[in-house]
Amino acid sequence: METTLRGVGVSHGVAIGEVRHMGTAVLEPPAKQIPAEEAEREQGRARQAVEAVAADLIARGNLAGGEAQHVLEAQAMMAQDPELMADVERRIAVGSTAERGVYDAFASYRALLAGAGEYLAGRVADLDDVRNRIVARLLGVPMPGVPDSDEPYVLIARDLAPADTALLDPALVLGFVTEEGGPTSHSAILARALGVPAVVALPGAGELAEGTLIAVDGSTGEIFVDPSDAKRAELESAAAARKAALTAATGPGATSDGHKVPLLANVGGPGDVPAAVEAGAEGVGLFRTEFLFLDDSKQAPSEEKQVAAYRAVLEAFPEGRVVVRVLDAGADKPLDFLTPADEPNPALGVRGLRSLLDHPDVLRTQLTALSKAAEGLPVYLEVMAPMVADRADAKAFADACREAGLNAKFGAMVEIPSAALRARSVLQEVEFLSLGTNDLAQYTFAADRQVGAVSRLQDPWQPALLDLVALSAEAAKAEGKSCGVCGEAASDPLLACVLTGLGVTSLSMGAASIPYVRATLAKYTLAQCERAASAARAADSAEDARRAAQAVLSGE
């Protein structure tokens, strides 16, 4: 009998196939004591396993490239954390086996994150995966991971670690469903990059029996268990219609009546550029520069290294707009040379622009490198600061740009509600705004963007979040300046229409989402988008906002 479940759709498309479950996690190793004379040998085993797992993660990243490479390299750094390794060796020295020492040391670190209010909970799945891989190697059992299968299937898991998501084979894994995670988790971001339909935050997904036929709609978040022939035909027809619309829609982003909405790409480094160009991106709306700094958490990269990396991206978009976000360190991206080690709530502490203003030499070097990278190139360079709270922050950043001799537009990211509420004040100091809807939702609703239990509050359709977007866009229009969106909200085609109706002037997203957004925008007039935006803001919940906008655009 057909039944319907609903999670959070995070990657477009429809997948129909049989359920296969993720390999079970490594069992807890026994807590047996070892003689003192074996401690040194066990410590050596632990070090070898850690290095082997780190090397495997880096190798997987090199194969995957792009966003996945940066995520997996960060995981490798987690495995090699010297303080964590020191804790492992201390536990072995007092009688633990290598595998038990690793298990207990990681458990202690995990508890520390949870005790900090789970502001870093988005990395718990990554931490658990590293632990499981190290313990599996020490125990000599198979690594946890995707199941072996000769036939295509839909993957079900409690959560997916980046190491597994990055190397999914779309020819075999038709789609995936997880019990945990959120729309901005690593697995969701990588699923969009791969073009694999995905639904997250579906309670009870693990109870779906192996071999059960399900249909996954990554756009709506719906899961149809044992779908009827009629439902399968309906979904397949809808998927075919979407594909045809994608093929038909080409050129710059615009509504059906010609209102231009530039569609830009979010990139995490030069490796993401080919996909952005292929998707027809009109430029880059968010160039994350953290990849350069995460290679070595002990010191900042040289000016020369930064110039080369920035120029590789700028050269790919002649006559295009490239918006660079300066280093956004802190919270889940700590750097030894930049961020405090003892903050009780890192997401609410010294992160983003705050870190850079405390270390002006790091900011000055990055701005100088960007200036040199753009020399002689026909590109429209724009540089923005993360985590701007007020006009004073905006002024400090703009002054730093001018002092570095940067020939570019200076902007501010709106990720803190205060910046949206006082957007006109902020715009007295900078030339554009860019809304980071992921963090803006997190700070508006006090809901960690990586915690599945609060995923309803991370939904970018929340009317309160739409209100903040509207305030920012209205302020920018009043000041004759631009206001884009570079958060994951822009990758939802229906929400892209609503954002356009709210007055947003450009949309930036992962490359895989650009064709969907282009095709959907082209179906509606600006007036229809404005009516859909008004209807969404008048709703009282995210689900009602989505339904109200859909009703307007479908003419109901």
Handedness of CA 267, 273, 274, 277 (dihedral sign): positive
Does 21 participate in catalysis according to the annotation? no
The active-site residue, picked from 483, 486, 497, 529, is 486
Q: Which residues pair with 413 in a beta bridge?
A: 434
- DSSP 8-state code for residue 406: -
Which H/E stretch holds residue 200? strand 198-200
Q: How far is CA 289 from the centre of its chain?
A: 14
Strand duo 213-217 + 14-21: pairing: antiparallel
CA nearest to 512, candidates 534, 488, 484, 531: 488
Q: Please count the residues of the chain.
A: 556
Contacts of 256 (CB under 8 A, 6+ apart): 522, 523, 524, 525
Geometric angle at alpha carbon 538, from 533 and 542, rounded to 5°: 80
Q: How many CB atoms lie within 10 A of CB 365?
A: 17
Contact 423, 402 (CB under 8 A): no
Tokens 């207990």: give the residue.
104
User: Which tokens is 15 given?
Assistant: 């997948």
Does 12 participate in catalysis according to the annotation? no
Contact 194, 168 (CB under 8 A): yes
d(CA 388, CA 553): 34
Q: Which residues pair with 346 in a beta bridge?
A: none
Contact 455, 200 (CB under 8 A): yes
Phi-psi region at 269: left, alpha or beta (left = phi > 0; alpha = psi -120 to 50): left
- DSSP 8-state code for residue 11: E
Q: Which residues pair with 284 in a beta bridge?
A: 265, 322
User: Which tokens is 48 given?
Assistant: 């070898």
User: Which tokens is 316 given?
Assistant: 């790919």
The active-site residue, picked from 186, 359, 401, 497, is 186
The residue type found at 228 is S
d(CA 223, CA 7): 8
For the chain, percent helix, then strand, then coil, each to nearest 5? Answer: 50, 15, 35
Q: DSSP 3-state assignment of 443?
A: helix
Question: What amino acid positions are annotated as catalytic residues?
Answer: 186, 486
